[in-house]
Structure 1
Amino acid sequence: MKRLYLFLLIVFGVVTIFGCEEDSKDNELVMEGIVAKVDDREVFIYEELEEDAMILSEEEVISKSLQASYFGFDTEISGIEVGDKVKVWYDAMDASLPRSGHGTKIELINK
């Protein structure tokens, strides 16, 4: 009986260890949006609205309570301007309004 319990404990442990392994490509956190503000290492983007084709400022985005996020990066951001549509990969996000997160990669979608 002790051998059965030991066997079950080992099997459970192996399943737990390998079953919890994450594939980072399947679990990437990504946000697409329009750039409202960009600095050396920070970008503020908001989700594009179908009916609103205007480029909004940071203050307008906040006052309209749009889904928006600040992303800080470890390296300088280059080639990104206000009004650009971008895709941002991130690894952490808080629950404040507007949200704030740590960006790992930024890519220009179209100019």
Structure 2
Amino acid sequence: MIRYLGFLIILVSVVSLWGCNEESQEERFIMEGIVAEVSDAHVFIYEEQPGIDRILTKEEVTSKSIQSSSFGFDEKLSDIEVGDKVKVWYDVLDTRLPGSGHGTKIELIKRP
């Protein structure tokens, strides 16, 4: 009986730790940026640049090698416009410049 109780305690501990690890891993796959281009289910964002007060185009971002990524979503994007500051959750990202990946969630942070 004591062996089963010990096994049960270890099992509950492992499952609890595994659940915490999944939550923190999900938080790592987030990118914030300024929207340079948006279409039905795609968004191209770049890292905010200090000292630049205007919205950059996709061509300007790529020519200056600014950290940027394009994300495709399974659903149509609504209420996202060029110039918005957004937060994108993603599950896959190709890190070439510009990066590209699959977005799972997008949240508006600030409008210009």
In the superposition, the TM-score normalised over structure 1's length comes to: 0.79
Closer, same or farther: CA 94–20 of 1 in aligned 2, 3 Å: farther
Bigger Rg, structure 1 or 2:
1
CA root-mean-square deviation: 2.1
- Corresponding residue for residue 57 of structure 1: 57
Whole-angstrom CA distance in 2 between matches of 1:98 and 1:19: 38
**2:32 counterpart of 1:21:** no
Whole-angstrom CA distance in 2 between matches of 1:54 and 1:25: 36
Whole-angstrom CA distance in 2 between matches of 1:61 and 1:68: 7
Give ranges in structure 1 of 5+ residues lacking alignment.
Answer: 1-13
In the superposition, the TM-score normalised over structure 2's length comes to: 0.78
- Corresponding residue for residue 6 of structure 2: none
Give ranges in structure 2 of 5+ residues lacking alignment.
Answer: 1-10
Cα deviation for residue 20 of structure 1 reads 8.2
Greater helix percent: which structure?
2
Whole-angstrom CA distance in 1 between matches of 2:23 and 2:87: 15
Q: Residue deviations 1:73-108, cap 9 Å, x none?
A: 000001000000000000110122100011000000
Q: Residue deviations 1:5-29, cap 9 Å, x none?
A: xxxxxxxxx7xx7598363331121
Size of the alignment, in residue pairs? 99
